[in-house]
Amino acid sequence: MDRAGATPKSAGGRTACINIRALPLRLLLRSHPQWRERPVAVVEEDKPLSPILWLNAAAVRGGIRPGMKYAAALSLDRGLCAGTVSEEEVGAAVRQVHGALDRFSPRVEPSAEEPGIFWVDAGGLDRLYASLEDWAGQMHAALSGLELPASIAVGFGRFGTYAVAKARNQVAVLPTLEAEEAESRKVRLLDLQLEPKLRERLDKLAVYTVGDFLALPGERIARHLGEQARALYRFAAGDRSLPLQPRDLSEPLRARMELDANESDVRGLQFRVSQLLAPLLKAAGERYQAAAALRLAFRQENGTRHRCRVQAAEPTLDARVLLELVGLRLETISFPFPPVALALEVEGVPVTADKLNLLQENPDRDTGSAMRALARVRAEFGPGSVLTARLASGHFPEARFGWQPFGKLAAAAPRPVAVRALVRRAHARPRLLEGQPVNWQAPSGPGPLGPPPEHLVSGGWWVREIRRDYRFVDTARGETLWIYYDHGSGRWYVQGRVE
């Protein structure tokens, strides 16, 4: 194990960077273990003129370089093994690694720009592991078990750990911030992910290490070397040193179904797509996303697949718009063999809460059809399946409403108002808020939300005293959450949101 000096046991304020080198190449080798001793390349497409993206050491020794055409590489080495790795496969691997790292820290941030890079919070692990070396060593062993060996650097800063993880092959634990800075400045730019043209220009300037690069005048970087160099300079100088941003890697919005025999007409396939699409759009809305495009994959009777992509003019949650586009696309497809299975994936893009509300509005309401649909639900699942909320007396916000059988659907009667009223929508049960909100700020002035209550004391001697500190907070995606701090558990919870 590669160590940079003795380290204290305390993990307070520590960050680790995990680097899975050439992740797409690792995935290709994991799928084809018989290629391990041979020259291997990842190509963009399985075509002669497709560029090479990733190479192993055996291919490099044969004179093959990234960016070279597949046909040209084969002329240098006829034994070259090549294959493609899709974005879906890379995304699945990132989620797999994220799940493995979750066992070692509750705060994991995968890089959005470089798949295979992860930052992990090492704070608060003193009592769980003998040392930071032990913690990092167990992470390394877990990833090796996935056939995705990684280099790991445990230090203090985002860039310092990143640079050392890119340069080392095993595990490095940096004892001090000064040691991290000194080690990161020694890292060769060749070890970082730079465009070939930028690397050539830096070589001409005799700039070979991070330290050499930081010695350049920062104000001239973008003008003379381009945006990638400017972004790297800011990253290395600490200008982009953000706190750890843990991400919840949700599963793709994807569904599949088997098709009936000889079901290849446009209308029938369009109906099948609609069956899969409705729940996927609902799930997208719950994630504060809208559908930018749909990906369809038909498996035919002979085992081959036909894939197509339908893109909307703008992100939407309107199934009718998307199904119309699907129908137009299906009319252009002629299946050589009958399709026997359908897979549908929604490409979701983030939207703000206000935008989501606009997308979900539906002015064309048919009260009669709605009541007939509810009657069918009630007939199939019982009278308790269709309920409506009612106000109730209770100490907790979540106890101030209940449920009663639904009667008649009243027609909407909106009234024009000068100021739109805000509504607090409470969850049936408070939800644990991951992380701790900091630097919160109450709405300024006499706004509609007003100042937050300092405390809410609920319960009593007949139950137990509960002290809550309520706040309104605005999120980056434009929603306003109603949250509270529970003094008993020491945790933050989401009571609901404001619309």
Q: Looking at the predicted structure, is the pLDDT value of residue 485 above 50? A: yes
Same domain as 393, residue 267: no
Helices and strands: H and E segment counts in the chain: 15, 19
Which residue has better confidence, 153 or 380? 153
Q: What is the pLDDT of residue 2?
A: 36
Q: How confident is the model at residue 152 (pLDDT cuts 50, 70, 90)?
A: very high
Same domain as 449, residue 476: yes
- Which amino acid is present at 124? G
Whether 169 contacts 192, CB under 8 Å: no
| Residue 79: burial class (beta carbons within 10 Å; 0-12, 13-18, 19+) | exposed
Q: Is 341 within a domain? A: yes
Same domain as 193, residue 102: yes
Q: What is the pLDDT of residue 71?
A: 92
Q: Is 419 within a domain? A: no
Whether 135 contacts 15, CB under 8 Å: no
Q: Is 245 within a domain? A: no
What is the C-alpha separation between 234 and 243, in angstroms, rounded? Answer: 15
Instruction: Collect contacts of 88-96 with beta carbons under 8 A, ≥24 apart.
Output: 88/252, 89/24, 89/27, 90/23, 90/24, 90/27, 90/115, 91/252, 93/23, 93/27, 93/148, 94/23, 94/249, 95/249, 95/251, 96/146
- Count the neighbouring beta carbons within 10 Å of the beta carbon of residue 90: 15
| Residue 464: burial class (beta carbons within 10 Å; 0-12, 13-18, 19+) | exposed
Of the candidates 354, 341, 14, the one whose C-alpha atom is nearest the C-alpha of residue 153 is 14
Alpha carbon distances (Å) from 425 to 23, 417, 430: 43, 20, 11
Interval 379-395 mean pLDDT: 75
Same domain as 212, residue 143: yes
Whether 377 contacts 386, CB under 8 Å: yes
Write down which residue in 204, 237, 270 finishes a domain.
237
What is the C-alpha separation between 162 and 18, in angstroms, rounded? Answer: 8
CATH number at residue 285: 3.30.1490.100
Q: How confident is the model at residue 353 (pLDDT cuts 50, 70, 90)?
A: low
Write down which residue in 237, 265, 292 finishes a domain.
237
Q: Is 58 within a domain? A: no
Q: Is 32 within a domain? A: no
Same domain as 139, residue 229: yes
Alpha carbon distances (Å) from 238 to 10, 145, 158: 24, 34, 8
- Write out pLDDT tens, residues 185-208: 999 998 888 887 888 889 888 999
If one counts the domains in the chain, the total is 4
* Mean residue pLDDT across the chain: 81
CATH number at residue 218: 3.30.70
Same domain as 355, residue 480: no
Q: Is 389 within a domain? A: yes
- Write out pLDDT tens, residues 305-325: 888 888 887 888 888 889 988
Q: What is the pLDDT of residue 316?
A: 87
Q: Is 315 within a domain? A: yes
Q: How confident is the model at residue 366 (pLDDT cuts 50, 70, 90)?
A: low
Q: Is 444 within a domain? A: yes
* Residues 6+ away with beta carbon under 8 Å from 311: 292, 293, 325
Q: Looking at the predicted structure, is the pLDDT value of residue 105 above 90? A: no
Domain that holds residue 384: 367-405
Same domain as 491, residue 437: yes
Reading the block at residue 241, the tokens are 């040193």
Q: Looking at the predicted structure, is the pLDDT value of residue 250 above 90? A: no
Which DSSP state fits 51? B
Write down which residue in 237, 263, 291 finishes a domain.
237
Same domain as 471, residue 353: no
Q: What is the pLDDT of residue 445?
A: 45
Give the bridge partners for 120, in sequence order: 16, 108
- Chain-centre distance of CA 445, in angstroms? 36
Give the bridge partners for 293, in sequence order: 311, 347
Same domain as 219, residue 104: yes
Helices (H), 146-237: 158-167, 177-186, 196-204, 210-214, 221-225, 227-237
SS3 174: coil
Strand positions, DSSP E, 375-455: 387-391, 401-405, 424-432
- Write out pLDDT tens, residues 263-282: 778 888 999 999 999 999 98
Same domain as 372, residue 356: no
Of the candidates 464, 467, 462, the one whose C-alpha atom is nearest the C-alpha of residue 493 is 467
Q: 164-173, 211-220, 254-263 — which is least confidently predicted?
A: 254-263
Same domain as 213, residue 133: yes
pLDDT > 70 fraction of the chain, expressed in percent and rounded: 83
Q: How confident is the model at residue 19 (pLDDT cuts 50, 70, 90)?
A: very high
Same domain as 221, residue 125: yes
Reading the block at residue 336, the tokens are 């050589």
What is the C-alpha separation between 19 and 157, in angstroms, rounded? Answer: 15
